[in-house]
Structures are given as C-alpha cells and as structure tokens.
A and B are shown apart, each in its own frame.
Chain A
Amino acid sequence: QQPVQSPQAVILREGEDAVINCSSSKALYSVHWYRQKHGEAPIFLMILLKGGEQKGHDKISASFNEKKQQSSLYLTASQLSYSGTYFCGTGFSSGSARQLTFGSGTQLTVLP
C-alpha cells in the first residue's frame, strides 16, 4: 500500500524545473508532501484533499488527480535550498482513522 514515487532521484541546475510524482494503488482521500534535508526532520509543504484541487506557494505547487490516484509536485525555477528528499504521504479515509503511508522518497539535488 506504500505509494510509489518517481523519479527516485533527480539532479538539476539552479533555475530548472522538476516534477515529482506519487502514485497509489488504492483510492486516495489526501496527499501530503514533505521535504527532508539530510540529518533533519521532515518539514511540511502542503496537503491536497480529495476534490482534485491544486495548491501552491512560492514556486512549489502540487496537483491531485483522484481518478488516477496520483499526485504531482512541481518545483519551478529550482533554488539551492530546494535540495533534499521529498516524500509524499497518502491518506485513505476522511474518517477518524489517520493512518498515513509515505512513499520511499525522491532525492532532489540542485547544483549551482
């Protein structure tokens, strides 16, 4: 039930764009995106709920296609600070259960 993230790793130059995908074999209610820098705790980026909404702040945005059971994270004009491992976490229910299943991560490296 672990969502599948792709690519596993990506290397960019500063200013380039990147897309990270998260796919589930199970119907999704929510998708959570986090970034983790080496040796640090994961930091929240955004949550998308069932309804196909798209969210974004600054130059990072995400979409959620519930029919395809997938979400994509878009990083535009990458900055050095975007380097890290990106995780998607998937939630399957809007009820009281709050089990969150994370993908194995996408390692993003932004070079100057």
Chain B
Amino acid sequence: EAQVTQNPRYLITVTGKKLTVTCSQNMNHEYMSWYRQDPGLGLRQIYYSMNVEVTDKGDVPEGYKVSRKEKRNFPLILESPSPNQTSLYFCASSLNNPRRGHEQYFGPGTRLTVT
C-alpha cells in the first residue's frame, strides 16, 4: 500500500531534550516536506526536500533541522525543543514535476507536546 508513515504518532517531552520524528514513504517520491499545524494558522511549511541531499527552508524553519540521506526518509530533528514547538506535525511527499504540479500525500501526523 502506498503510504507515508511517521513515528512516533504521539510524543510528550521536556524542554531541551533532543528528539527526532521519522518520516518514510514507499512511493519513490522525489519531493518531501514537513509542516506544522496550529489552530487558526493552518499548515506552515518547515522544510522541504527536492531530492536526496537537497533541502531548503520553508516558512518556519527556526529550531528545526532535517536531512535527506535516502530518498524514502526525511527525518525532522528538534535539537533543543521548546514549548512553542508544541504542535501537530505532518510529513508529505510527492513526485517532483514543477510544471505539472503533483498532489502531496500526507502522513498521519505526529502530535508533539513540549513541557
């Protein structure tokens, strides 16, 4: 089954404790992206990747890191989480044809609480 998976689905952590949220897709998509969703603000893009070893900042990259060492994986790293990073996080992937545009497939989401 074609899908985007995220782990963990729920995480409660404390300020400053490094964490990684994993994202994996099995559709051989070139493009992957991370979003955070907060009430009233919609989906805001954190980072995106056009292909292996190619990443770029989205609208809200501060406090986050990403890497794209393999095509299928795009982990999100919070080196020193803070309470304002409490949010619902979505990973998404799609083919990469800018002139045509392609639908993004979203993962199930990771609800992160930083205390």
Residues of A within 8 A of B (CB): 1-2, 30, 32, 34, 40-44, 47, 49, 87, 89, 91, 93-105
Contacts and interface: CB of A to CB of B under 8 A. Distances in A.
Contacts of B103: 32, 44, 47
Interface of B: 31, 33, 35, 40-45, 48, 50, 56, 58-59, 90, 96, 98-109
Nearest to A44: B103
A102 B107 CA distance: 17
Given A42-B43, A44-B103, A47-B102, 10 more contacts: A30-B101, A34-B104, A44-B104, A44-B105, A49-B99, A87-B42, A99-B48, A100-B33, A101-B59, A102-B44
Contacts of A32: 101, 103-104
B101 A96 contact: no
Contacts of A94: 98-99
Contact of A41 (B90, B96, B101): B90
A98 B42 contact: no
A40 B45 CA distance: 18
A24 to B, nearest CB: 14
A97 B56 contact: yes
Contacts of B41: 104
A96 B98 CA distance: 7
Given A41-B106, A42-B106, A102 B43 contact: yes
Contacts of B104: 32, 34, 42, 44, 100
Contact of B101 (A2, A91, A99, A103): A91
A99 B45 CA distance: 8
B56 to A, nearest CB: 7
Contacts of B90: 41-42
B40 A104 contact: yes
